[in-house]
């Protein structure tokens, strides 16, 4: 099922990308400055949410394309894997900034919108924690993954070349008028459909699984680092309170908190993939759903930067109106925010339960993880908020300790019998 799910995502991702591109109200506009979103709010909401989902769907798709790699192409695969798991997920989060601009344009004149957006763009944590790794990871993921897969003979070079051609077409014509803007996504759809078909048919080579060992090591480490980063994110909330007044007094802390919370959910992705890799049906389903939810949920932290920029530039009263407008975006709420939070919190519990069902952990692992999630929901932000990451660290730490790497390489063929003299 893992390869089938990845193949489906490889097809759905560029199709979603094509639809998101086609509904962009800024296509072909000579003036790409502020004010376009105000005139087409429904179109920009569909564009941003679909574009975000396109990049999110590429995450399991590209990770699945790298999955059969063992030794051949392992160096390229390691770089691509990190670019997909961290960079592409972070890039998908940046699509939320368009929705922030939409909310600003619905409440403010263009000069005020520009001032808030420039304040957001100038934040050091937003630049080096989100924009730089997001853009770099996005480009490396889309360019290097097909090359690594072709190098390892998961797909052929013709398929990889077509995928790269489609990606180049998207890079060049993304904001050109229809139908030119659709050339890249259409070519990508055909290329990745073939790649998905080849992925489902490939047999991993009988060679040492150095790439699998790398992923396993990163996954186990992430089981520790993810709850630690979660704890740092909660501990750096200004004043240990959800009161936004403290954000203006300590803006650097507010930015750091949002980054580490985002990083924690991103780090849970390799942790979940490692925990469910050799599991049964429940583990595979829970792992796939949780990875999608985590990629969505981590994106919501970028909204904290937009809110901080609005409060620094406009004051609390106007910033509250902007927040209300963003909360009224139904597609964002029901196709992004709510399912991502529910899927993440419930998914982490189900992943822990699945490891116990498969005999890979003891019963106290899901108990600790479930209690940690419940503590997060009940205690929220405050002096006792660190109870949640401590419990999650205990649960996933015990899980990491119990796991052992098992190579999934294909057995080498038996030697032919030597004829008797």
Q: Give the model confidence (pLDDT) of 226-271 as tens digits.
A: 999 999 999 999 887 777 777 888 999 999 999 999 999 999 999 9
Model-wide pTM > 0.85? yes
**Confidence grade of residue 399 (pLDDT, cut at 50, 70, 90):** very high
On whether the CB atoms of residues 318 and 132 are closer than 8 A, the answer is no
* DSSP tally for the chain: helices H, then strands E: 21, 0
Structural domain tally of the chain? 1
338-357: per-residue pLDDT in tens?
999 999 999 999 999 999 99
Which range, 96-110, 139-153, 291-305, is most confident?
139-153
**Confidence grade of residue 316 (pLDDT, cut at 50, 70, 90):** confident
Q: At what angle do helices 41-66 and 132-151 cross, to 10 degrees?
A: 40
Does 319 reside within a domain? yes
Does 419 reside within a domain? no
Instruction: Please name the residue that has the structure tokens 């050091």.
Output: 124
Does 415 reside within a domain? no
pLDDT at 421 over 60: no
Instruction: Please name the residue that has the structure tokens 């922030």.
Output: 100
93-111: per-residue pLDDT in tens?
999 888 998 999 999 998 8
Does 136 reside within a domain? yes
Does 32 reside within a domain? yes
pLDDT at 32 over 70: no
**Confidence grade of residue 23 (pLDDT, cut at 50, 70, 90):** very high
Does 410 reside within a domain? no
Give dist(CA 246, CA 333) in Å, integer: 26
Name which of 319, 308, 21, 44 is nearest 166 in CA terms.
Answer: 21
pLDDT of residue 420: 42
Does 324 reside within a domain? yes
pLDDT at 200 over 70: yes
Half-sphere exposure of 124 (CA within 13 A, CB side): 5
Does 148 reside within a domain? yes
Range of the domain at 397: 2-402
pLDDT at 419 over 60: no
pLDDT of residue 357: 95
Mean pLDDT of the chain: 91
**Confidence grade of residue 29 (pLDDT, cut at 50, 70, 90):** low
pLDDT of residue 233: 95
């Amino acid at each position: 099922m893992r390869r089938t799910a990845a193949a489906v995502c490889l097809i759905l991702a560029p199709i979603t990308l094509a639809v998101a591109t086609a509904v962009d109200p800024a296509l072909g506009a000579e003036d790409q400055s502020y004010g376009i979103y105000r005139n087409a709010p429904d179109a920009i909401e569909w564009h941003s949410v679909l574009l975000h989902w396109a990049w999110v769907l590429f995450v399991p798709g590209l990770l699945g394309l790298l999955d059969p790699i063992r030794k051949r192409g392992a160096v390229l695969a390691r770089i691509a894997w990190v670019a997909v798991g961290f960079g592409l997920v972070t890039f998908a989060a940046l699509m939320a900034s368009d929705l922030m601009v939409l909310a600003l344009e619905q409440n403010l004149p263009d000069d005020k919108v520009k001032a808030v957006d420039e304040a957001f763009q100038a934040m050091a944590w937003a630049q080096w924690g989100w924009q730089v790794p997001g853009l770099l990871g996005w480009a490396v993921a889309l360019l290097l993954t097909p090359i690594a897969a072709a190098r390892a003979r998961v797909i052929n070079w013709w398929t990889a070349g077509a995928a790269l051609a489609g990606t180049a077409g998207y890079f060049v014509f993304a904001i050109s008028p229809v139908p030119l803007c659709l050339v890249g996504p259409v070519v990508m759809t055909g290329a990745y459909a073939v790649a998905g078909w080849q992925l489902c048919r490939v047999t991993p080579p009988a060679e040492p699984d150095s790439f699998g060992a790398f992923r396993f090591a990163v996954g186990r480490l992430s089981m520790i680092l993810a709850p630690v980063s979660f704890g740092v994110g909660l501990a750096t909330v200004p004043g240990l309170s959800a009161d936004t007044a403290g954000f203006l007094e300590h803006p650097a802390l507010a930015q750091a908190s949002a980054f580490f919370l985002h990083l924690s959910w991103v780090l849970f992705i390799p942790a979940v993939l490692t925990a469910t890799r050799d599991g049964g049906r429940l583990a595979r389903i829970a792992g796939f759903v949780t990875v999608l939810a985590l990629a969505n949920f981590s994106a919501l932290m970028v909204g904290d930067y937009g809110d901080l920029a609005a409060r620094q530039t406009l004051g609390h009263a106007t910033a509250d109106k902007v927040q209300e407008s963003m909360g009224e975006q139904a597609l964002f709420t029901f196709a992004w925010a709510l399912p991502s939070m529910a899927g993440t919190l419930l998914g982490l519990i189900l992943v822990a339960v699945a490891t116990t069902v498969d005999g890979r952990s003891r019963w106290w692992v899901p108990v600790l993880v479930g209690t940690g999630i419940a503590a997060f929901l009940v205690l929220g932000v405050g002096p006792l908020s660190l109870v949640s990451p401590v419990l999650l660290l205990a649960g996933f730490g015990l899980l990491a300790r119990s796991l052992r790497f098992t190579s999934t390489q294909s057995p080498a063929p038996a030697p032919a019998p030597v004829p008797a003299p």
